[in-house]
């Protein structure tokens, strides 16, 4: 049985049984899931959130529609429930619930009280999706307390068991109020925040202005990646390049950014492209030198990489919104993003509040 009690199903059950239901008597239908109670006439005649579909089935349709492409969602409902639901109907229900969430994106999310001394990690970044107007950036935020980080396996890799996400298909000015809402009351404990970012100017400026007491870390792997990109231009010989990279990466890991900048300054690039790349790298490091004390961060037991943010791009956005051949309308993308954020944040009940209120 899907539920221990009676379950509403779709309108099609009434149509199958006919209209001669006695409103004073309970009617039942035997399905592959057992005996299911059939709602009486008034319940089927009333619209729920704009549809002649039960709240329970709308919940399932939206969850399927936000988890897979709409045509596959239809197949899943047919497979698991034995109910044929039109692909367009899955689309409409999913979009209606996603649209209803739009006005709630800037409402503060309640959190349990943060224990004294526990850090909260935060990251934000952009991810591209293909829309009918071309490639557009979705800004995505992720926060999680240090207690949500577990070390697993022999290599003690980090696994994060819970996170709160925020996202917006739009500018940073549209995104930041949503990110702020995800912080909830934890925003009042800036000294316990640890931001790990790629050093983008808009992010750096926001953190400096809004959370000057927070720890801000430049993602270590971004710092190394940019160094490696320059090294490819500077050292065509692979053996020499790897030897040089090992030395400079060790300096970065030890927090000796000044030594790396000094080494870069002594190099003599032979091409214009390499010279420009060196100057861009030096500027990047100088702009972020205060956020590159990696030895100190490790001594405090802090994470120094943005792997959780990269994973969030894949799980929250790309798994549903970057499939082969997909071209999103702007409203359709926004509605699905709202639902993906609620689903992956463990806040699905927020998404189906309109259904619960009507049930």
- Give the model's pLDDT for residue 12: 43
Cβ pair 160, 148 in contact under 8 A? yes
Convert the pLDDT of each residue in 161-206 to its tens digit.
Answer: 999 999 999 999 999 999 999 999 999 999 999 999 999 999 999 9
Convert the pLDDT of each residue in 274-285 to its tens digit.
Answer: 999 999 999 999
The answer, yes or no, to whether residue 20 has pLDDT greater than 50, is no
Cβ pair 290, 215 in contact under 8 A? no
CA of residue 239 relative to chain centroid, distance: 39
Q: What is the average per-residue pLDDT within 115-140?
A: 95
19: confidence class by pLDDT, cuts 50, 70, 90 = very low
Q: What is the mean pLDDT of the chain?
A: 87
Instruction: Tell me how far CA of residue 314 lies from CA of 165, 246, 268, in angstroms.
Output: 13, 30, 40
17: confidence class by pLDDT, cuts 50, 70, 90 = very low
Poorest-confidence range of 33-37, 43-47, 334-338? 43-47
The answer, yes or no, to whether residue 87 has pLDDT greater than 50, is yes
The answer, yes or no, to whether residue 31 has pLDDT greater than 80, is no
Convert the pLDDT of each residue in 36-80 to its tens digit.
Answer: 665 554 444 456 677 878 888 899 999 999 999 998 988 888 888
Which are the contacts of 337, defined by CB distance < 8 A and separation ≥ 6?
98, 138, 167, 168, 169, 317, 321
**DSSP-assigned states of every residue in 149-195:** EEEETTTTEEEE---EEEEEES-HHHHHHHHHHHHGGGGG-GGGEEE
The answer, yes or no, to whether residue 214 has pLDDT greater than 70, is yes
Q: What is the average per-residue pLDDT within 93-110?
A: 94
More confident residue, 214 or 7: 214
SS3 at position 126: strand
More confident residue, 36 or 251: 251
Convert the pLDDT of each residue in 137-169 to its tens digit.
Answer: 999 999 999 999 887 877 777 789 999 999 999
Cβ pair 260, 285 in contact under 8 A? yes
The answer, yes or no, to whether residue 255 has pLDDT greater than 90, is yes
- What the block records as the tokens of 321 is 């919104």
- Give the model's pLDDT for residue 22: 43
* Tokens 């943005």 found at: 306
- Give the model's pLDDT for residue 9: 42
Whole-number percent of the chain with pLDDT over 90: 71
SS3 at position 121: strand
Burial state string for 201-240 with b = 16 or more CB within 10 A and e = fewer than 16:
eebbebbeeebeebbbbbbbebbbebbeebbebbbeeeee
- Give the model's pLDDT for residue 140: 98
In the chain, DSSP finds a helix count (H) and a strand count (E) of 17, 9
The region that residue 56 occupies, defined by phi over 0 for left and psi between -120 and 50 for alpha, beta otherwise, is alpha
- What the block records as the tokens of 242 is 């790897």
The answer, yes or no, to whether residue 34 has pLDDT greater than 70, is no
């Amino acid at each position: 049985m899907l539920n221990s009690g009676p379950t509403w199903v779709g309108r099609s059950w009434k149509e199958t049984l006919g209209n001669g239901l006695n409103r004073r008597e309970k009617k039942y239908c035997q399905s592959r899931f057992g005996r299911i109670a059939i709602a009486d006439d008034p319940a089927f005649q009333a619209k729920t959130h704009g549809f002649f579909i039960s709240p329970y089935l709308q919940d399932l349709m939206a969850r399927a529609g936000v988890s897979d492409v709409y045509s596959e969602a239809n197949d899943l409902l047919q497979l698991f429930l034995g109910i044929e639901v039109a692909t367009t109907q899955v689309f409409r229900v999913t979009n209606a619930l996603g649209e209803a969430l739009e006005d709630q994106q800037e409402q503060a999310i309640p959190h349990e009280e943060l224990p004294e001394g526990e850090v909260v990690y935060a990251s934000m970044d952009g991810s591209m999706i293909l829309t009918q107007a071309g490639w557009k950036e979705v800004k995505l935020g992720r926060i999680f307390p240090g207690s949500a980080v577990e070390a697993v396996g022999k290599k003690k890799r980090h696994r994060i068991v819970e996170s709160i996400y925020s996202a917006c298909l739009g500018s940073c000015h549209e995104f930041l109020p949503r990110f702020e809402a995800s912080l909830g009351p934890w925003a009042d404990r800036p000294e316990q925040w640890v931001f790990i970012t790629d050093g983008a100017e808009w992010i750096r400026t926001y953190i400096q202005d809004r959370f000057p007491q927070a720890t801000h870390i430049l993602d270590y792997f971004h710092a190394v990646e940019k160094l490696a990109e320059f090294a490819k231009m500077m050292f065509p010989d692979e053996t020499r390049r790897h030897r040089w990279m090992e030395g400079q990466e060790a300096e970065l890991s030890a927090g000796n950014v000044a030594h790396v900048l000094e080494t870069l300054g002594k190099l003599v690039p032979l091409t214009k492209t390499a010279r420009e790349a060196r100057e861009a790298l030096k500027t990047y490091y100088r702009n972020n030198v205060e956020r590159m004390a990696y030895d100190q961060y490790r001594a405090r037991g802090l994470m120094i990489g943005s792997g959780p943010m990269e994973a969030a791009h894949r799980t929250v956005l790309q798994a549903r919104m970057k499939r082969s051949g997909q071209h999103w309308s702007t409203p359709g993308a926004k509605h699905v993003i709202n639902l993906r954020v609620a689903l992956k944040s463990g806040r699905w009940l927020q998404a189906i509040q309109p259904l619960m209120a009507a049930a």
